[in-house]
């Protein structure tokens, strides 16, 4: 059988109003339940966090002395073995390492060699000494040349004045008979 449902736009069925009221009430109850559940959830979360904190604290209090004892036991066991190892290294390995280090130091140390050949000549001390020697030689040569020039000039002056002029000056002769010198150094008499 088919039932026909007729809906009137102007009339409302009382069952529709009841359904709307029931829906509104259900919504209000859901809001109330959510409002009560949120603080309960927060309390449960805080309680859980507090429980975890307490569990961690209890675990730490339980583990701390046991860990400290384990570390102490391990150190007590390891100390004599480390001492024995140090003694063994000192007796067997240390002399070998020491001699190897001394040998390496000898190989690394630069060999002091005498400089020979060009390196010895290019040493700054030798270059300075050579410079001083060259300067002294140059100064000596300059002084010798000046003295030679001065003595040559004096000799040329003396050569141009002949003994005959000296006598003529003494005898009162005139300068016509005097002997003169030319530019090239030749001596000639004016009468011949």
Instruction: Read off the pLDDT of residues 37-87 as tens digits, 9 standing for 90 and up.
Output: 888 888 888 888 888 888 888 888 898 888 889 988 888 888 888 888 888
How far is Cα 182 from Cα 180, in angstroms, rounded to an integer? 7
Mean pLDDT across the chain: 77
pLDDT above 80 for 185: no
Q: Which pLDDT score is estimated for 183?
A: 63
Average pLDDT over residues 127-138: 88
Can you give the length of the chain in residues?
192
pLDDT above 80 for 163: no
Q: Which of 21-25, 46-50, 121-125, 179-183 is predicted with the least confidence, judged by mean pLDDT?
A: 179-183
How far is Cα 68 from Cα 72, in angstroms, rounded to an integer? 6
Q: Which pLDDT score is estimated for 109?
A: 79
How far is Cα 109 from Cα 101, in angstroms, rounded to an integer? 12
Q: Which pLDDT score is estimated for 186?
A: 65
Per the CB < 8 A criterion, the answer to whether 183 and 189 are in contact is no
pLDDT range class, residue 176, cuts 50, 70, 90: very low
Angle among Cα 79, 80, 83 to the nearest 5 degrees reads: 90
The DSSP 8-state label assigned to residue 110 in this structure reads: P
Average pLDDT over residues 11-37: 76
Average pLDDT over residues 148-160: 87
Residue 29 or residue 117, greater confidence = 29
Q: Which pLDDT score is estimated for 181?
A: 56
Question: Whole-structure pTM over 0.75, yes or no?
Answer: no
How far is Cα 130 from Cα 61, in angstroms, rounded to an integer? 90
Q: In the chain, which ranges are continuous DSSP H helix?
A: 14-88, 94-108, 118-121, 124-160, 163-171
Tokens 């919504």 found at: 27
Which tokens belong to 40? 């309960």
Tokens 């003529």 found at: 168
Residue 107 or residue 142, greater confidence = 142
pLDDT range class, residue 2, cuts 50, 70, 90: low
pLDDT range class, residue 168, cuts 50, 70, 90: low
pLDDT above 50 for 147: yes
């Amino acid at each position: 059988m088919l039932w026909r449902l007729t809906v009137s736009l102007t009339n409302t069925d009382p069952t529709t109003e009841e359904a709307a009221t029931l829906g509104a009430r259900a919504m209000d109850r859901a809001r109330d339940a959510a409002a009560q559940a949120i603080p309960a959830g927060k309390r449960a979360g805080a309680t859980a966090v507090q429980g975890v904190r307490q569990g961690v604290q209890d675990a730490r209090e339980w583990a701390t002395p046991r860990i400290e004892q384990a570390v102490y036991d391990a150190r007590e066991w390891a100390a004599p073995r480390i001492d024995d190892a140090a003694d063994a290294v000192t007796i067997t390995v240390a002399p070998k390492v020491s001699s190897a280090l001394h040998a390496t130091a000898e190989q690394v140390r630069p060999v002091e060699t005498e400089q020979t050949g060009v390196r010895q000549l290019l040493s700054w001390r030798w270059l300075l000494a050579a410079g001083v020697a060259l300067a002294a030689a140059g100064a000596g040569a300059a002084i010798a040349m000046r003295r030679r020039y001065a003595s040559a000039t004096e000799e040329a002056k003396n050569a141009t004045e002949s003994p005959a002029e000296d006598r003529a000056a003494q005898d009162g002769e005139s300068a016509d008979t005097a002997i003169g010198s030319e530019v090239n150094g030749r001596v000639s008499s004016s009468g011949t």
